Amino acid sequence: MTSATARSTALYLLDQIIGEGRLMSDLVAGGALDRLDPAERARAQRLTLDTLRGIERADRIIARFLRKPPPLTARNILRLGTVELCHGGDAHGVVNELVGLLGQHPRYRKLKGLINAVLRQVAEDGPPRWNDLRIPRLRNWLREPLVEAWGKGAVNAMERAHFAGAPLDLTAKGDPAALARAVGGTLLPTGSVRLADHGRISALPGYESGDWWVQDAAAAIPVRVLAPQPGEAVLDLCAAPGGKTLQLAAAGAEVTALDLSERRMARVTENLARTGLQATCLVADALEHQGKYDALLLDAPCSATGTLRRHPDLPFAKDGAEFGALIALQARMLDHALSLLQPGGRLVFCTCSLLPDEGEVQVAEALARHAGLRTDPAALEVPGVEPGWITEEGGLRLRPDYWAERGGMDGFYIALLRR
C-alpha cells in the first residue's frame, strides 16, 4: 500500500467534496487523516482548504493550457498543484508528486504527460497572474440570495473575507487578557482572543490545562447576549460541538447540553473534561425534550452559510436544496423551546447563517405567532457589538465582512426573546 502524504490526502478530500458532495468535517471524523502524523494532517487540511478557496482562480489559469477539462481527479490534481505553486510551492516537488499520484490511477495514468506539461506551464506562468485575477465568487445557488438580501457590494466584501480565510479565535475560561498575553494573541472588543498565526493547537499554552477552547468570535456572542447567571438552570439545545456549553458552564450556570448526534456529543464531553467544567449531557431529539429552564440557548440547525471563511467546502457539498426543510425545522424548534421556559425566562435564538429567512424573518414570524413574545434589543448591547449591527426586529446581524481589518468573523444572527 502506498504511504499517504499530505498531497495524496488533499486530493482524496477534494475528490470526495467536489465529486461526492461530502463535508470535510464528516471525512475527517471518518478517518481521512488518520494515516498522517499531526504536522501532515494540518498540511493536508490547509492544502484542501486553500484549493477550495482558490478554485475559481486555479480553473482560470488551467484553462489557458487545456482544450477541454480532464476527468475530475485529474482536474483536482491540476487545481491542487496550481494553488500550491501560486502560493510559492517548490515546482519540482509539487509537479513530481502530483504527476506520480495520477500515475497510480489505472484509469487516468495515460494523462500523466498532459498533467506534467500543464503543471510545468502553470509553475512558470501562474504565480505572476494569481493576484491579478478577481476574488473568487460564491457559487450561484448561494450568491444570488445573498445579493438579494445584502446587495452586491456587501457580498463582494464577504467574498474577500471568505478568500482570506479565518484566523484562530479562542474563548478563555478565565481572564481573556491574561490568555492573550499567554498565547501571544490579540484581545478582540467582544472578549475573544485572536491568533493570526499558530502552530498545532494542542501545543498552545493552556491547552492541556483547559484554560481555553477554540470558538469563532461571532459564535461566542450568543452566550454573552444570554448573560447566564450562577445557579441558573440553562438548556443548550443543539449543543455540539460545545463551545457555548463551555461558556455557560464557566459562568456558573447549571447547564443541560442536548444534541441529537452521539458522535458530536462525545466531543462536548471531551471538552468538558479537558476544561474541568460541568454540564449534564444528553443525546436526544430537541423536539421531544421536556423540562423547565430559567434560560435557553437554541443554536438551531441551519445552512451554515455564515461559516464559509472556515469551511469553504460547504458550497461544494451543498446546493441549497435543504433550505426549505431547515427553515421549517427552525420554526418548530423555536416554538418548542419557548414552551420549555420558566415564566419570565429568556431565550437566545441564533443561527450561523447569512440568509435572512434563517434569522431576521424567522424571529419576525415567531413574534407574530406568539402573543406577548418580544425581542430585547438592550440585551444585545454587550462589549464590542456595534449599534449598526442591531436589526429592525431587534436582533443582531453579524457578517464575515465586519471587522475586515481584524480578520473578519463568522456570519451569525442572534436574538434574545422574552415572553
Would you report the helix, strand and coil content of the chain in percent, each value rounded to 5?
Answer: 50, 15, 35
DSSP state of 141: H
β-strand 168-172 against 193-195: which pairing, if any? antiparallel
Find out whether 17 and 50 touch, Cβ atoms under 8 Å.
Answer: no
β-strand 412-418 against 341-351: which pairing, if any? antiparallel
- Residue 327 CA to residue 406 CA, distance in Å, equals 32
Amino acid at residue number 367: L
Residue 91, classified by CB atoms within 10 Å of its CB into exposed (0-12), middle (13-18) or buried (19+), is: middle
Q: Is 352 a catalytic residue?
A: yes
Give the number of other Cβ atoms within 10 Å of residue 109's Cβ.
Answer: 13
Of 342, 309, 327, 316, residue with least CA distance to 409 = 309
Catalytic residue among 238, 281, 350, 352: 352
Alpha carbon dihedral 82, 165, 129, 43, in 10-degree steps, equals -30
Quote the distance between the C-alpha of residue 295 and its chain's center: 26
Locate 67 and state its grid cell. Answer: 482544450
Of 3, 85, 101, 102, residue with least CA distance to 47 = 85
Residue 298, classified by CB atoms within 10 Å of its CB into exposed (0-12), middle (13-18) or buried (19+), is: buried
Of 129, 143, 31, residue with least CA distance to 82 = 129
- Residue 126 CA to residue 86 CA, distance in Å, equals 6
Instruction: Please report where in the chains the cell 449591527 appears, as a residue.
Output: 389
Omega of the bond leading into 387 within 30 degrees of 0 (cis) = no
* 3-class DSSP state of 280: strand
Residues taking part in catalysis: 352
